[in-house]
Amino acid sequence: MSADETSEGEKKLDVIRQVVADDVAAGKHDGRVQTRFPPEPNGYLHIGHAKSICLNFGIAEEFGGRCNLRFDDTNPTKEDVEYVDSIQEDVRWLGFEWDELHFASDYFEQLYEWACQLIRQGDAYVDSQSPEEIRAQRGTSSQPGTNSPDRERSVEENLDLFAKMRAGEFADGEHLLRAKIDMASKHLILRDPPMYRIRHAEHHRTGSDWCIYPMYDFAHGQSDSLEEVTHSICTLEFETHKPLYDWFIEKLGIFPSKQYEFARLSLTYTVMSKRKLLELVEGGQVDGWDDPRMPTLCGLRRRGYTREAIRAFCDDIGITRYNGMTDMVVLENALRGDLNKRAERRMGVLRPLKVVITNYPEGESEELEAVNSPEDESAGTRMVPFGRELFIEQEDFMEDAPKKFFRLAPGREVRLRYAYFITCTDVIKNDAGEVVELLATYDPATKGGDAPDGRKVKGTLHWVSAEHAINAEVRLYDHLCKVEDLSKIPDDEDWKSHLNENSLETLTDCRLEPSLADFDAGTPVQFERLGYFTLDANATTAEKPVFNRSVTLRDAWAKMQKR
Binding flag, residue 466, RNA (CB under 7 A): no
189 binds RNA (CB under 7 A): yes
Q: How many CA atoms lie within 13 A of 332 on its CB side?
A: 18
φ, ψ for residue 435 (rounded to 5)?
-70, 120
Under the binding rule (CB under 7 A), the answer on residue 498 touching RNA is no
Per CB under 7 A, 547 contacts RNA = no
Q: Is 264 part of the annotated catalytic residue set?
A: yes
Q: Is 274 a catalytic residue?
A: yes
Among 92, 186, 429, 544, binds RNA (CB under 7 A): 186
First to last CA, the chain: 34
Q: 274, 301, 303, 311: which is the annotated catalytic residue?
A: 274
CA atoms within 13 A on the CB side of 75: 12
Give 383's strand partners: 369
Q: Which of 11, 28, 264, 447 is catalytic?
A: 264
Nearest to 200 by CA among 246, 152, 166: 166
CB atoms within 10 A of CB 33: 22
CA distance linking residue 397 with residue 153, whole number of Å: 84
**DSSP bridge pairs for 74:** none
Applying CB under 7 A, which of residues 64, 95, 324, 380 lies at the interface with RNA? 324
- Span interacting with RNA, options 26-34, 117-125, 303-311, 328-336, rule CB under 7 A: 328-336
How far, rounded to the nearest angstrom, does the alpha carbon of residue 256 sit from its chain's CA centroid? 33
Does residue 333 belong to the site contacting RNA (CB under 7 A)? yes
Rounded least distance, CB 276 to RNA, Å = 12
- Burial per residue of 377-394, b for 16 or more beta-carbon CB atoms within 10 angstroms, e otherwise: eeeeebebbbbbbbbbbe
Q: Does 413 bind RNA (CB under 7 A)?
A: no
197 binds RNA (CB under 7 A): yes
Site for RNA in 199-218 (CB under 7 A): 199, 213-216
Compose the 266-285 pattern: x for residues touching RNA by CB under 7 A, - for all others. Answer: --------------------
Q: Is 310 exposed, middle or buried (0-12, 13-18, 19+ CB in 10 A)?
A: buried
417 forms part of the interface with RNA (CB under 7 A) = yes
Q: Residues 17, 36, 40, 342: which is the catalytic one? A: 40
Annotated catalytic, 40?
yes
CA distance 40 to 78: 9
Q: Interface with RNA includes 154 (CB under 7 A)?
A: no
- Taking the complex as a whole, the smallest distance from the CB of residue 311 to RNA amounts, in Å, to 15
CA distance 431 to 441: 25
**Footprint of RNA on 335-354 (CB under 7 A):** 336-337, 340, 345
Please, which of residues 18-57 interact with RNA by CB under 7 A? 18, 40
Binds RNA (CB under 7 A): choice among 52, 86, 148, 460 = 460
Q: Shortest Cβ distance from residue 470 to RNA (Å)? A: 20
Instruction: Pick one of 93, 255, 260, 406: the residue that binds RNA (CB under 7 A).
Output: 406
In 3-state terms, what secondary structure has residue 8? coil
Write down the least CB distance from residue 323 to RNA, Å. Answer: 4
Catalytic residues: 40, 264, 274
